[in-house]
Amino acid sequence: MSDENWPDDIQPTPLMEQATSLISDLDENPSPENFTALKAWYEASVDHRRTFASAMFSSVMEESTRRRIEETLGREFEVMPNLPGAGADETRATATSPRAQPWGPRRSPMGARPSVGGRRRRLVLIGVVAAASAAVLVLAVGLTSVSLFSPIATPANAQTFETGHAQIRSFSLSDGSAMTLDADTRVEVTIDRKHRQALLRQGRARFIVKPDSRPFTIEAANGKVLSGQGTVDVQVDKARQADVRLRAGSASLQVEGRDAKPLVVDQPIVFSAASARPTPVVAPPDDTRDWPSGWVEYRTIALGALVTQANRYAKTPIILDDPSLASLQASGRFKLTDTENFAKRIAEPFGLRVSRRGDGIHLSR
């Protein structure tokens, strides 16, 4: 527990203590090592991310530090209105400040004068206490609020949605929109009074955006898709290349801060950090409108690439015994989520033998 005295018997959770300690360390010594420690702590779990959003909402810090924290974590954090300013004790730390300890606050020896970091951490805690007191006041007049020490639904909280291997799942969002995630996908969604935002970390997602006064923003790679109402597919591959396809309604795409341009229904657009300008795909090699149900249609695709796609959904992997089989060209409509039938169907036109072994389903000449 922290050495700080909390008024009115308000006590933070261990995670809140760790979050406030990280913030004070960063404000006192914004070194690359401390930002690396912050990122590792923040990404450790959903509870870590929620608690940190609560701490950022109510923390006193240098504006430059807040901006660097947001850049490091790839998101913005809301700030409590009328947050108390820094007091006379807030003194810039010297270059000899100790390295951050991400897994909990440091303790000072009994009777020792508080260090610069301790005074700075005290300012952070004062802000958190003020926010907690404001939450109590809101409850007193009969409005809905949430304790900052129960890290749930703070104003800028991001909720993480994930799927594992061989999973396709659909979710209902709090604004009435819907979202379907392909296998091995991770999305962070923030919906509050001012914003509707989704950050696609990896994989593929379909967003069915409900009309609202708040535009829905989907971040992927170095671009943003903005939609007031519509259905949009967004994909990010391992090379950080993004693929955006508007399925219905309207949406626009903004890449690296340039002017947003409207998307055309079923016209794929690809972009990446390496190639900043979005590029329309004139003749898409695949039709992925039905991917949420497992179906995809290819005009032409190498057998090796097709099997790789199918193995995203396979509990028992498909294995090509002869490497030369990977270059064979296939076309047609396939249900990739039905591994057994897919293997049989793809084997027929090439005269391949299908055999099940301990390590998977083998295709051989």
Strands 360-364 and 318-320, by their bridges, are parallel
pLDDT tens for each residue of 14-44: 888 888 888 888 888 888 888 888 988 998 8
Query: Which residue has 């701490």 as its token pair?
Result: 55
Backbone region of residue 221 per phi and psi (left: phi > 0; alpha: psi in -120 to 50; beta: other values): left
Angle in degrees, CA 290, 293, 298, rounded to 5 = 45
Q: What is residue 286's three-state secondary structure?
A: strand
Q: How many CB atoms lie within 10 A of CB 331?
A: 13
Rounded to an integer, what distance in angstroms lies between the CA atom of residue 68 and that of residue 55? 16
User: What helix, strand, coil percent values describe the chain, rounded to 5?
Assistant: 30, 30, 40
Query: Which residue has 């949430």 as its token pair?
Result: 146
pLDDT tens for each residue of 177-232: 999 999 999 999 999 888 899 999 999 999 999 999 999 999 999 999 999 999 99
Residue ranges covered by each domain of the chain: 7-140, 159-283, 287-364
Choices 3.40.50.720, 3.30.70.980, 3.55.40.20, 2.60.120.1440: CATH for 159-283: 2.60.120.1440
pLDDT tens for each residue of 144-191: 333 333 333 344 568 999 999 999 999 999 899 999 999 999 999 999
Rounded to an integer, what distance in angstroms lies between the CA atom of residue 197 and that of residue 339? 35
Q: What is the pLDDT of residue 342?
A: 97
Nearest Cα neighbor of 31 from 86, 119, 95 is 95
Ramachandran angles phi, psi of 80, nearest 5°? -60, 130
Average pLDDT, the chain: 80
Rounded to an integer, what distance in angstroms lies between the CA atom of residue 93 and that of residue 31? 12
Q: Both tokens of residue 75?
A: 């998101």
Q: What is residue 252's three-state secondary structure?
A: strand
State the CATH class of domain 287-364.
alpha beta
Q: What is the pLDDT of residue 116?
A: 47
Fold agreement (159-283, 287-364): no
Ramachandran angles phi, psi of 308, nearest 5°? -60, -40
Mean pLDDT of the region 237-242? 91
Helices 32-42 and 46-57: crossing angle in degrees, nearest 10, is 120
Q: What is the pLDDT of residue 277?
A: 83
Ramachandran angles phi, psi of 108, nearest 5°? -95, 150
Q: What is the pLDDT of residue 345?
A: 95
43 versus 89: the higher-pLDDT residue is 43
